[in-house]
Amino acid sequence: MSDELLSADGPAIRVQGLRNTFGEQVVHDNLDLEVHRGEIIGVVGGSGTGKSVLMRAILGLREPQGGSIEVLGVDALSDRARAHGIIERNTGVLFQNGALFSSLTVAENVSVPLKEHYPELPEDMVHDLAMLKIRMAGLGEDAGAKLPSQLSGGMRKRAGIARALALDPALLFLDEPTAGLDPIGAAAFDELIRTLQRALGLTVFLITHDLDTLYAICDRVAVLADKRVLVNAPLAEVERFDHPWVQEYFHGPRGRAAQAALAKEA
């Protein structure tokens, strides 16, 4: 369900000179970022570096104080109302807490964006599409009739993925998707993301603190620090980047453990 006005050329996301502030607090200053089409990019950074702020600015959920943003070739800032509608129809988002409507069943949650953007679709078709997305997210059909409170944490995240895929988006945004999951559940969720990305040709913008996720599925990693993107490159290059936070993060005990796990799998 793509939009005919989208460009098939250039990067999926291009951010240039971005400035985000909250009063006198400067979160981003002259931040640049490019996301290639068809890649999974992991976005990391310490607390307060504005990872979610960056995501929200790209999605048009907050207005930056400077810079430019292009999403799938659409200028996200020049005509905000028009751009937001186009971007919303072509992106799916999984927020950290899932953000499911607690009073709706899983199938009804997945149906919400379909009904909002395609009200002309017959009810039975909407239901069938919702159930297809639920199965794609690795849930059984019985999950469709359940409320979010009746699901485990991992199942709620999969339900959130099903809703994020409702409109067949080109771009998928994930905010800490494995937070709160045990190692086995997190690894299974990583595999789901990689499988969906390959099968559907998705571009995935993934905010995470999970080093295992970075090593398991990310094609490149963008590191936020000092109010900008320090480096945006494959992991091997990022690991060598000379910055105190980068070195501590990737070469500390957890980083060494993630590297060892990757080497063992290879």
Task: Report pLDDT for 252.
Answer: 78
Task: Please check the confidence at residue 255 and state whether its pLDDT lies above 60.
Answer: yes
Three-state SS for 260?
Answer: helix
130 membership: H or E segment, kind and range: helix 123-136
How far apart CA 216 and CA 235 sit, in angstroms, is 11
Task: Report pLDDT for 2.
Answer: 44
Task: Please check the confidence at residue 4 and state whether its pLDDT lies above 70.
Answer: no
Domains of the chain, by residue range, sit at 13-90+171-265, 101-168
Q: What is the pLDDT of residues 92-110, one digit of tens each?
A: 999 877 789 999 999 999 9
> 246: which residues sit within 8 A by CB, 6+ positions away?
223, 225, 230, 231, 238, 239
pTM value is: 0.91
Q: What is the pLDDT of residues 50-78, one digit of tens each?
A: 999 999 999 999 999 999 999 999 999 98
Task: Please check the confidence at residue 21 and state whether its pLDDT lies above 70.
Answer: yes
Q: What is the mean pLDDT of residues 221-243?
A: 97
Q: What is the pLDDT of residues 121-144, one digit of tens each?
A: 999 999 999 999 999 999 998 999
Three-state SS for 230?
Answer: strand
Mean pLDDT (the chain, rounded): 92
**What does the block give as tokens for 162?**
């099903």
CATH of 13-90+171-265, one of 3.10.20.30, 3.40.50.1970, 3.30.300.180, 3.40.50.300: 3.40.50.300
